[in-house]
Chain A
Amino acid sequence: MHYRHHEMLPRSVKKEFKLNTRLMVATIICLLLAWTRASADTPFVSGFDRFARHGDVESAVGGRLLLSELSCTACHLTDVQDLQPKGGPNLDGAGNRVQTEWLKKFLLSPQTTRNGTTMPDVLASLPEEQKMQAVNALSAFIDSLRQPYPQLKANGATPVPLEFWKHGSVKHGSTLYHQIGCVACHDPDDDYEVVKIKPSPIDQLLEHLEPDDIAEMGLTSTARRVKSVPYGNLPAKYTYKSLTFFLLNPEKVRPSGRMPNFQLAAVDAADISAYLMRSVRDNATAGKSKSIRSSEAAKDDSELVARGRKLFVEFRCVSCHSVTGLQPTQSSKPLAGLQTNTDASCFNSPQPDRPHYELDEFSRNSVIAALTGVQRSPRKDASEALHLRILQLNCLACHERNKQGGVGRFRKPYFETVGNIDIGDEGRLPPPLTGVGQKLKVPWMQNVIDGKAAVRPHMHFRMPQFPKSATQDLPTLFNQTDGGTEQPSEQTVFTAGSKSEMMEAGRRLMDVGCVQCHSFRGHALPGTVGTDLGGIANRVNPKWFRDFLLDPAALKPRTRMPTFFPNGSSQNRDLLEGDTQKQIAAMWTYLRELNSQQLPEKIVHARNQNYELTPSDRPVVLRTFMKTAGTHAIAVGFPRKVHFAFDAEQISLAQAWRGRFLDAEGTWFVRFAPPADPIGKEHIRTPGGVPFAALTGPLQPWPTDAETAGYQFAGYRLNENGVPTFLYRIHQFNVEDRIQPTDDGGLVRRFILRIREGSPDVADQLYIRPHFGSALMFEQAGEYSNNDGLTVSVSLQSGSAGELRNNQAGTEWLIPLEVKSKTQVEVKYSW
């Protein structure tokens, strides 16, 4: 892959000839100016630079953008909501955030110290000496604004190591910086390596076109290099600690939200900070934390601080920067009353008592155009308000909307998928916002903007969190602009049908294609990472869902989502009579209820491959929790497809079943240790309870608890075929208990009882209870069945076949045992 980036500089102005002639001349001049004058000493406003300078948005819109982003309206007040000022950083705590030397230089000459800053030079008109005095006073005041750093909350999910800000990893910081989205706005690093990906068809095309052709095809804006938002010399300005804490909560310092919150872990913020400060690591000159100011130091220069505090108000710094306890005291002309032709404006030559903005002519003209517009018709409709807002917040740095913006052409390689899986540009770039007001439900859109909606686990890019104050009406604006306010209800959009039928059909339709790319409440085919369809009914509008399924490319050009309904007809004639509308309704119905529904069959099958225990040549044992066999369950599965669960606490054969054995996922990998459920069929509750008991007489009830009945479980032994024999003790007897399938699909249980050497005898008679139930039916000698269909037969080496007794528990079959040195009893179960 080779980007011919040097050839792609935006020299062409061809596109502009499509504009009307009145604008033409001005535009050309402006563009030329823009190109020559967009130099180091003017404020940088991303949306303005990317779109307004190139005529992609009207000059007056660009001007409105400058009015807010240069915070003109901080002094020239207006009640037009869209034009409220961006404002500067909150300076509470700036004393331990910013290096004093840097601050002084910055105050002396903002544009040269922090290239592209939107802060005006408030001291521009002062003579040199006065200026120095003002700088000293202001910096002393700002230096006095100290605040303890917040204590970060830590718990089992959030590591906060000791002095984490000192231990950042430049390497990992670089990876994060380039992957999570910082480089959508800021400069990437020349040396950063990205995984080579196939460029999209458009990007491929751009590589091969001449600038003239690009312009003709209307791709000038797409092809143009997007300039980075500069951040100046960070190591000179910050400390490791202050930059780390800034990254952890940008809104606290910059409430405008122009720098959003990436919701970084403490150590990740430290890593990015280490990366951004990396130039100081080699010569180890910077990075010392500034401590909380001692009270003596504060006293020493209290006079200077007081003067700075006064100047801070006088120079109107306070109009943009909030400092606890300070308020603006002076008023300027309101925005609506400003003369557009005056020489005394803030962006002409420096004037006493006015901040000075270094603006090029194009910017000046834009501001003038905007002011004229504001005075003529201050209020704009939702669409215009929205457009201005997304320019202000620079949403277009990441998202394309109505063919404007999106990740800059040369920034796209940094947007990678997790595991570098190729799922096209839509699988790695932030989603377009075209028509998003139709697509997303308003509450969900709010979640997205609040940074609470990570539904694309396949992307390294993260949607950052924007402050409520700047975004709370955004979802509504999108909704109104895109005509999404009148959303038809589910009932109107979807064809009705029987819920169970729809549910089942919807589930089966998932297997047609959806499962190849999407996950379902966290489950997916192996290696598949895509947007989870769980919860989709809370995210998208029903109508969009229907329209998108009918023709994905119509709503999302170049999507990899295939159409399953070419020309509106279903490929699957077997389900719901092949009715397209019914099938789409079925998919919605199933996905809406996904949490309570079985997963799509292909995913179930794939899961089983991983977690279903299937005995092939030897038995499989699993110790786990089970509903029937309790917390000491030992499940044993056999290749003959007859299985059982043994309760090692109650020494009880608890359950038997045939067919498939068990799903081990919960036991192996789920923290909350859910009980394992048998999968197969023909389950039968085996008689349960302890097998033997020493009873004082035939009236004594059968014990209900193994421990009080004198049992001690002693483990199990595997024979050469892997069949376990359970070992336990009761009174003076050692018992071996082996349970295996019979030839006819039942189980046979062989007990061997031996008398333990040296153990005290229990005088009471030992019984075995092979079977019990609410009623027992005599089948033949030594064989009874119960109402559940379980037949039990016993073969003894010798002795009586026992008898039935009735009590509250139902009918029990008891057989007295005469135990010699070794006694064997065999019990067969069939059902």
Chain B
Amino acid sequence: MVDHCERVHGRHSRRLVAAFMLSVVCIAGAEFAVAADENNYYRLISITTPKAQTDSRSKTWKPALDGLALEVSGMTMLDDKRVAVAIRKGEVWMLDGAYDDPPNNVRYKRFASALHEPLGLLRHNDSLYTAQRTELTQLKDTDGDDVADEYLTVAKGWGVTGHYHEYAYGPKLDGDGNMWLTLNIGMGLKGKQLTRTVRDPILGYQQGRWRGWGMKVTPSGTMVPVCAGMRSPCGIGVNAAGDMFYTDQQGNWVATNSLHHMRAAAFFHHAEALASMTQPGSTIQGVTSVPNGAPLAQAMEQFPQLKPPAVWFPYKKMGQSATDIMLDDSGGRFGPFAGQLFVGEFTQASMSRVFLEQVDGEYQGACFPFRSAFASAVLRMAQGVDGSVFVGLTNRGWSSLGASSYGLQRLVWTGKTPFEIKEMRAQSDGFELVFTKPVEQRTAEDVQSYLMNSYTYLYHSTYGSDEIQKRDLTIVRSIVSDDGYRVQLQVDGLRELFVHELVAAGVRSRNDEPLLHRHAYYTLNQIP
């Protein structure tokens, strides 16, 4: 049925070009083409990026007519050639040749099937592990034919009421060999779903057991609830120190997307996770009321278990739906950000970058835009053996930028160093910026090169929060280090538990480049 694909030039009427219009002179300078510029430093290679037959939100969604519906939901590296990929329809595939450039001869082999929405994949102890809706499963190939023949249940026992939103994510491995999982909250449970819930007798919240919790499975196979209050904890990842983090997504109780350090007895956002507070093994005790409608700082006073995120991702500015967390563990083969975390972004089909530091034993830090223009929603990221990053895409059920519906791309550092704010550290009187290249003295010293404001959020049960108590801040002084890599900004009016938003539009490098990304957002939970 499809025919006529030859491209020809369109014809149109003679245009009435008013030559004198050219005399109208326009002012000012365009700031443009960020995606194209990013490509100079981080090049995108598309391995497969199909377009579905239907819109991403269609009730009757259909994949592309040809090929595998590679809606990537988990990824793990096998060796220098092969990548294992879990897909949302419930399979695991081995891809051979995915590192080729161009990737013209990728071979696909199915390793496992019949998984119920697996949302993670981990190679560990010569097996693959994945979290299905109902359990953590070990996939074993016992006869060496590269097809799994054992689907062994490693851990289960969390509530599955049948509500679609009850996704289970993971596993990821921490520094001590524990496998971590996160469990989505259910939404508006009804009918039979309610028969599969637990209920907190005081607060009245009702959810499937451990819904909204972060769990770890110890090397001996015991599942332990660790922390709670998650809404849609789609991303899990370890930092260089072996500590485990998760991302949450804006919605009820969650003001905007966030990154959290998962540790025992911490509570993050979603109050309904307290339905499991009285279950044996719960690390949260004694919450008898939950504030609803207070600014974060006040809410924390009324609800001491509530811990602020290490990083807020201000809505729209830093994405709309945070996903996976990936540590750049390549020792520099992925560019100048070794040891930092990268966070996927679904709706805007992009990736963000995170700098973390510890103040008084607690993580906090800054996020920066990193790379946009992926072909579809970024759900998963995994670093390849050569330091490049495989990026798994799928936007079904929601929407994203990008012309594709799902697929796999690879992000490769070109070897050129972008001019970026690499680190942003809190100081007692402001912030220290560390750049990837030496700054030009005059622009970096000029306080007019920077704008800063700060704001916080409401803790409440409604969907998302505006930025509240917003205030413009005065940058008093800017001191440039001798080597030009560091700038100390002295800022008036720092506020704890506020996001400090920086736009360093005026700063130039010594080669007179503007910053590739001028924005940075520091979550100042504590002033050092």
Q: Do A and B come from one complex?
A: yes
Give residues of chain B (454-469) contacting chain A, Cβ–Cβ below 8 Å.
Answer: none
Q: Tell me if B58 is interfacial: C-beta within 8 Å of chain A.
A: yes
Q: Bound complex: CA of A410 vs CA of B58, how far in Å?
A: 35
Query: Which of B57, B65, B347 touches A526 (beta carbons < 8 Å)?
Result: B65
Q: Bound complex: CA of A321 vs CA of B12, how far in Å?
A: 33
Query: Which of A188, A192, A194, A281 touches B32 (beta carbons < 8 Å)?
Result: A281
Q: Bound complex: CA of A309 vs CA of B96, how far in Å?
A: 71
Chain B: which residue is nearest A728 at the CB level?
B153
**Known contacts A522-B59, A631-B134; A288 and B27 CB within 8 A of each other:** yes
Give residues of chain B (1-25) contacting chain A, Cβ–Cβ below 8 Å.
Answer: 1-13, 15-16, 18, 20-22, 24-25
| CB-based contact A715/B151 at 8 Å | yes
| CB-based contact B32/A716 at 8 Å | no
Q: Bound complex: CA of A2 vs CA of B294, how far in Å?
A: 68
Q: Tell me if A374 is interfacial: C-beta within 8 Å of chain B.
A: no
**Known contacts A115-B16, A166-B34; A420 and B116 CB within 8 A of each other:** no
Query: Which of A116, A230, A285 touches B27 (beta carbons < 8 Å)?
Result: A285
Q: Tell me if A357 is interfacial: C-beta within 8 Å of chain B.
A: no
Q: Tell me if B241 is interfacial: C-beta within 8 Å of chain A.
A: no
Q: Tell me if B397 is interfacial: C-beta within 8 Å of chain A.
A: yes
| CB-defined contacts of B58 to chain A, threshold 8 Å | 522
| CB-defined contacts of B90 to chain A, threshold 8 Å | 622-623, 667-668
Q: Bound complex: CA of A650 vs CA of B117, how far in Å?
A: 20
Q: Bound complex: CA of A188 vs CA of B12, how far in Å?
A: 6
Q: Bound complex: CA of A198 vs CA of B11, how far in Å?
A: 15
| CB-based contact A715/B26 at 8 Å | no
Q: Tell me if B101 is interfacial: C-beta within 8 Å of chain A.
A: no
Distance in Å from the Cβ of B221 to the closest Cβ of chain A? Answer: 10
Q: Tell me if A235 is interfacial: C-beta within 8 Å of chain B.
A: yes
Q: Bound complex: CA of A531 vs CA of B96, how far in Å?
A: 42
Q: Tell me if A701 is interfacial: C-beta within 8 Å of chain B.
A: no
Q: Bound complex: CA of A223 vs CA of B170, how far in Å?
A: 64
Q: Tell me if B369 is interfacial: C-beta within 8 Å of chain A.
A: yes
**Known contacts A195-B5, A198-B4, A671-B396; A715 and B13 CB within 8 A of each other:** no
Chain B: which residue is nearest A274 at the CB level?
B32
Distance in Å from the Cβ of A751 to the closest Cβ of chain B? Answer: 18
Distance in Å from the Cβ of B18 to the closest Cβ of chain A? Answer: 5
| CB-based contact B4/A99 at 8 Å | no
Distance in Å from the Cβ of B183 to the closest Cβ of chain A? Answer: 14
Query: Which of A113, A157, A190, A673 touches B164 (beta carbons < 8 Å)?
Result: A673
Contact code string A699-739 (vs B, CB < 8 Å = 1, else 0): 00000000100000111111100000001000000000000
| CB-based contact A649/B12 at 8 Å | no
Chain B: which residue is nearest A626 at the CB level?
B162
* Of B11, B148, B372, most A-chain CB atoms within 10 Å: B11
| CB-based contact B4/A196 at 8 Å | yes
Q: Tell me if A523 is interfacial: C-beta within 8 Å of chain B.
A: yes
**Known contacts A196-B7, A197-B4; A717 and B164 CB within 8 A of each other:** no
| CB-based contact B16/A230 at 8 Å | yes
Query: Which of B8, B153, B160, B318 touches A162 (beta carbons < 8 Å)?
Result: B318
| CB-defined contacts of B148 to chain A, threshold 8 Å | 718
Chain B: which residue is nearest A414 at the CB level?
B10
| CB-defined contacts of A490 to chain B, threshold 8 Å | none
| CB-based contact A717/B150 at 8 Å | yes
**Known contacts A160-B320, A193-B9; A288 and B29 CB within 8 A of each other:** yes
| CB-based contact A281/B150 at 8 Å | no
| CB-based contact A718/B149 at 8 Å | yes
| CB-defined contacts of B20 to chain A, threshold 8 Å | 112
Q: Tell me if B263 is interfacial: C-beta within 8 Å of chain A.
A: no
Q: Bound complex: CA of A152 vs CA of B320, how far in Å?
A: 13
| CB-based contact A167/B32 at 8 Å | yes
Q: Bound complex: CA of A152 vs CA of B316, how far in Å?
A: 10
Chain A: which residue is nearest B317 at the CB level?
A162
Q: Bound complex: CA of A50 vs CA of B137, how far in Å?
A: 69
| CB-based contact B32/A631 at 8 Å | no
Q: Tell me if A763 is interfacial: C-beta within 8 Å of chain B.
A: no
Q: Tell me if A341 is interfacial: C-beta within 8 Å of chain B.
A: no
Q: Bound complex: CA of A189 vs CA of B150, how far in Å?
A: 60
Distance in Å from the Cβ of B149 to the closest Cβ of chain A? Answer: 5
| CB-based contact A420/B32 at 8 Å | no
| CB-based contact B347/A159 at 8 Å | yes
Give residues of chain A (26-85) contacting chain B, Cβ–Cβ below 8 Å.
Answer: 40
Give residues of chain A (182-209) contacting chain B, Cβ–Cβ below 8 Å.
Answer: 183, 187-198
Give residues of chain B (277-315) contacting chain A, Cβ–Cβ below 8 Å.
Answer: 315
| CB-defined contacts of A284 to chain B, threshold 8 Å | 29-30, 32
| CB-based contact B59/A670 at 8 Å | yes
| CB-defined contacts of A246 to chain B, threshold 8 Å | none
* Of A105, A191, A625, A648, most B-chain CB atoms within 10 Å: A625
Q: Bound complex: CA of A280 vs CA of B26, how far in Å?
A: 9
| CB-based contact A285/B28 at 8 Å | yes
Q: Tell me if A232 is interfacial: C-beta within 8 Å of chain B.
A: yes
| CB-based contact A236/B24 at 8 Å | yes
Q: Tell me if B360 is interfacial: C-beta within 8 Å of chain A.
A: no
* Of B31, B114, B346, B397, most A-chain CB atoms within 10 Å: B114
Q: Bound complex: CA of A286 vs CA of B63, how far in Å?
A: 42
| CB-based contact A190/B400 at 8 Å | no
Q: Tell me if A161 is interfacial: C-beta within 8 Å of chain B.
A: yes
| CB-defined contacts of B33 to chain A, threshold 8 Å | 167
| CB-based contact A187/B2 at 8 Å | no
Q: Tell me if B495 is interfacial: C-beta within 8 Å of chain A.
A: no
Give residues of chain A (83-139) contacting chain B, Cβ–Cβ below 8 Å.
Answer: 99, 101-102, 105, 112-113, 115-116
Q: Bound complex: CA of A623 vs CA of B131, how far in Å?
A: 13
| CB-based contact A166/B316 at 8 Å | no
| CB-based contact B10/A154 at 8 Å | no
| CB-defined contacts of A198 to chain B, threshold 8 Å | 4
Q: Bound complex: CA of A280 vs CA of B22, how far in Å?
A: 11
| CB-defined contacts of B471 to chain A, threshold 8 Å | none
Query: Which of A287, A420, A668, A673 touches B5 (beta carbons < 8 Å)?
Result: A420
| CB-based contact B4/A669 at 8 Å | no
| CB-based contact B35/A713 at 8 Å | no
Query: Which of A156, A160, A193, A673 touches B7 (beta carbons < 8 Å)?
Result: A193
Distance in Å from the Cβ of B103 to the closest Cβ of chain A? Answer: 23
| CB-based contact B401/A161 at 8 Å | yes
Give residues of chain A (155-181) contacting chain B, Cβ–Cβ below 8 Å.
Answer: 155-162, 166-167, 169, 178
**Known contacts A112-B18, A527-B65, A717-B150; A286 and B6 CB within 8 A of each other:** no
Chain B: which residue is nearest A522 at the CB level?
B60
| CB-based contact B320/A156 at 8 Å | yes
Q: Bound complex: CA of A289 vs CA of B395, how far in Å?
A: 32
Q: Bound complex: CA of A600 vs CA of B162, how far in Å?
A: 30
| CB-based contact B30/A195 at 8 Å | no
| CB-defined contacts of A155 to chain B, threshold 8 Å | 320
| CB-defined contacts of B369 to chain A, threshold 8 Å | 162
| CB-based contact B152/A267 at 8 Å | no
Q: Bound complex: CA of A293 vs CA of B116, how far in Å?
A: 56
Q: Tell me if B330 is interfacial: C-beta within 8 Å of chain A.
A: no
The 9 closest A-B pairs by CB, nearest first: A288-B28, A286-B26, A671-B397, A522-B60, A668-B89, A287-B30, A621-B114, A715-B152, A236-B24
Interface positions of A (Cβ within 8 A of B): 1, 3, 5, 40, 99, 101-102, 105, 112-113, 115-116, 152, 154-162, 166-167, 169, 178, 183, 187-198, 225-228, 230, 232-233, 235-236, 239-240, 267, 274, 280-281, 284-288, 410-411, 413-414, 419-422, 521-523, 526-527, 610, 620-625, 630-632, 634, 648-649, 664, 667-673, 675, 707, 713-719, 727
Interface positions of B (Cβ within 8 A of A): 1-13, 15-16, 18, 20-22, 24-35, 54, 57-63, 65, 69, 88-90, 113-117, 132-135, 137-138, 148-153, 156-157, 160-162, 164, 196, 315-318, 320-321, 346-350, 369, 372, 396-401, 519
Show 5 residue pairs from A and B whose CB-CB distance is below 8 angstroms, ordered by the A residue.
Answer: A160-B320, A230-B16, A284-B30, A631-B162, A727-B152
